Structure 1
Amino acid sequence: MQNILKQFILGAALFAAGVLSSEETIADKSTGKTFPVNVSFSHGGKEWNLNATGVSTRTKFFVKVYSVASYIQEGADLNKNNVFNQALNDNLAKQLTQIWVRDVDSKTIKDGYQDTFKKVFSQAQQQALQSQEEQFLGFFNENASVNDKHVLRWIPGGIIEVEINGVKKGEVQSPEFARAVWSIWLGPKSVVNRAQLVSRVGG
């Protein structure tokens, strides 16, 4: 009887652990990459806590390039009708975490950003924000390998912070540039299925 009771308790504990584990991560079913549901970071002496809104896959010419998870500040007033506006709102802290699923050289990464900025910016905006764009691109001087992690953070005040494999590369400050960067994934001309990036948002 005691053995049966022990087995029951062990089974219940393993089941609970499995449920907890599934709740603590979200997966990109296309690549198998997993991301935490909640993330936190410090900046300017303040601790920021964020919740995942969804995950998607970046593909190019039908080839999977990376998985990307989107996060928005904990406590944000989000629903299906306002989520994309809120995702481009400078008052909220946000994060995009990319896990690469193929090797890509730094030139290709930079070229990809430049091509996208041309689509997001008007000619006047490109000229006005050229220095911010060059500064941002300068953070990507390393080739990306499978399982490398690129983290982009948008801190209120128009601050874009870049972290690669846990190492902070620098930051750019410009609300207009920050919106352009986030528009790459959450704007109307998104390079991924942006609906997947907000699939966890209710309402």
Structure 2
Amino acid sequence: MKSLKTILLATTLTAGFGFFMGTTDAHADSLYKVKTGDTLSTISQQFSGDNSLIDLIAKDNKITNINMIFEGEELVIRTAEEAGKDAIPVQAEAAPVQEAAVQAEPAAPAQEAATAPATTSSAKEWIAQKESSGSYAATNGRYIGRYQLDASYLNGDYSEANQERVADSYVAGRYGSWEAAQAFWMANGWY
């Protein structure tokens, strides 16, 4: 009888330990394998809907040059709750709203279309905020400036005036208007 009790207790403890070890933490980090064409910006967009995780991903993965990641490299991406610990308060408050938009992805284009800006200047500013948080000095690999234009379009002149001129020309030639470029961005996540 004593050996039966010992077996039952050992089985119960083993099953409980197995259950404990087999459960996943809802706040676990994600492991992301870099694909061709990925940048820290596109990865951050995937996980948070904006560029707020770029520095955190670089820090967590000991990336010294944020413009250089390699295909096949595995990156640890912290969840929103974990990332919020290192984020500034404004970003921490904004993250849940952006996550909700990502979770409701099928409904997002319809909701965003209803709030689409009525003027060229607001559509242009909206794209600038999505691409670079409005910074003329932002870089992401070969993409430069406020509108994240390919460096070849800027011909080595990264001045604010040239970025504005080239962005206007690019959008006019490709989309016809900033509003059309914004609609394309909302549907595809880039312009």
Scaled by the length of structure 1, the TM-score of the pair is 0.34
State the structure with more CA Rg.
2
> Whose helix proportion is higher, 1 or 2?
2
> Whose strand proportion is higher, 1 or 2?
1
